[in-house]
Amino acid sequence: MYTVRLLKSGDMPMLLQNSSDLIERQQRTRLANGDVVDLAWLINGQVLAVSANALALYSRAEAVHDELGNGLLASVAIPAELSLSLQDGGYIQEHRAGYVGLSDQRVLLITLNDVQLFASKQDALRNQNERARLPLAAG
């Protein structure tokens, strides 16, 4: 289970956690066009959306459904040859620390600055052949 406590040290808030998971929780939803999207709440408060052909970063979950794009911080297309297929109704299959296992054996690595997409676990493990990058410092 993931626990977060916000403490004050002088005027600086500090985030303490008893887990290395960078994803607090996840939820599956549908966009207005009917497409399935997996939402992952990151510990920095932003929401990562994973769809078949794109990754997007939002300031809050409600922004995913905002037709005007309010709250969209950044997005990147998943290359066509790596597009994701639904597996067990979604795209995110597992996550631990900064590792996110996707359908079709694709992998996301979440670092302090970016979300990186790799075609396989082996590429992610070696940090080679990155296929897409989404900056977390957007906005």
List the domain range (segments joined by +) for residue 38.
Answer: 4-135
In the DSSP assignment, the letter for residue 46 is -
> Residue 80 pLDDT > 50, yes or no?
yes
Beta-carbon contacts of 3 under 8 Å, excluding residues fewer than 6 positions away, are 17, 18, 19
pLDDT of 46 reads: 94
What's the mean pLDDT when you consider all of the chain? 87
pLDDT in tens, 10-68: 444 444 455 688 999 999 999 988 999 999 999 989 999 999 999 999 999 999 999 89
pLDDT of residue 19: 65
- How many structural domains is the chain composed of? 1
Of residues 34 and 1, more confidence is placed in 34
Which pLDDT does position 112 carry in this prediction?
Answer: 86
Q: How far apart are CA 67 and CA 126, in angstroms?
A: 38
Specify the pLDDT at position 18. 56
